[in-house]
Amino acid sequence: MPPGNQISMNLRKDNVRVKSSSALDAIGNTPIVKLQKIVPDGCADIYVKLESHNATGSKKDRMALSMIEGAEKRGDLRSGMTVVEYTGGSTGSGLAFICAVKGYRFRVVSSDAFGHEKLDTMRALGAELEVIESKDGKITPELINRMIDRATEIASEPDTYFTNQLSNPDMIDGFEKMGQEIVEQIGGPIDAFCDSVGTAGSLMGVSRALKAAGQDTLVVALEPATSPILTAGTKGGHNVEGIGLGFVPELLDKNLYDEARAIDEAEARRTALRLAREEGIFAGTSTGMNVAGAIEIAKELGPGKTVVAIACDTGLKYLSEGLFSG
């Protein structure tokens, strides 16, 4: 049995979902599609994994579930306890969803630098939200550290479990399953995979799956050009939610990626808009960055090769930001 099959139990062979006993079964088994219009001639094929098909519309549902279930299996999280996290919104939405299904209280620290759609989603799912004020709406290392500090303070209270996404290796397990899906869906050589780095969970998880499957894949880490901590050792502000934290994430293993590239935020935004209007793929700025990076790599590899990127979430999370008003 191929390694990806164990994560397809709620699908029939014709890929039609069968009835499930829990809403948690709506996480995973997302489609992958070949870009048809925005890739220039003479390039490698680009396939995009559509993570908007997860329960709250983001790949972060995968890591949220693996962090909660990892803690449950170890006995670190038990009935009656409170889950605590800091988040830009998508991880928080995933955790709020899972805590709602499983019956945990969820306290979350976020910021007004992130889209109100994400904050509203967390509230709708029952999260108790504390919002940290940003400077000029920018995502900066200082802001992230303030969020972490406040979440750490809350997590010192009795009967809490701090998922602490930046230091929690459980999240990589959820993304390794995504990588197994990619290997099974492509069904052949994957010449390159690129992904923008926040926690680095999806980059690490997919890379682990590619290596386990014997793939000889160029794995590329992407980051905003205005905060090139991996490529130039410097940090700065930007408006690409969920990535570019301004420091090297703890779980980023240099043995699991080959190179890093900085992508211009304006190009990422143009690519997100083109994805929506020319490919019908409705996703956010980090997806635009992933696909912009994939196109750059596809130009270098040329015809007959395959590049894979992740469409991280749904564009519905970004409607208030003017991303699609161009």
Which residue type does 307 have? V
CA separation for the pair 147, 171 (Å, rounded): 19
Locate tokens 């802001």: which residue? Answer: 143
Q: Please give the order of strands across the beta sheet that includes 105-111.
A: 128-132, 105-111, 82-86, 160-162
Q: What are the two backbone dihedrals, phi and then psi, of residue 86, each rounded to the nearest 5 degrees? A: -110, 145
Chain centre distance of CA 198: 8
Check: CB of residue 211 under 8 Å from CB of residue 257: no
Q: Tell me the two tokens of residue 84.
A: 């605590």
118 carries an active-site annotation: no
60 carries an active-site annotation: yes
Let me know the angle formed at the C-alpha of 114 by 243 and 68, rounded to the nearest 5 degrees.
65
Which residue type does 302 have? G
Give the active site residue among 49, 59, 60, 305: 60
Give the active site residue among 196, 286, 305, 317: 286
The residues annotated as belonging to the active site are: 60, 286
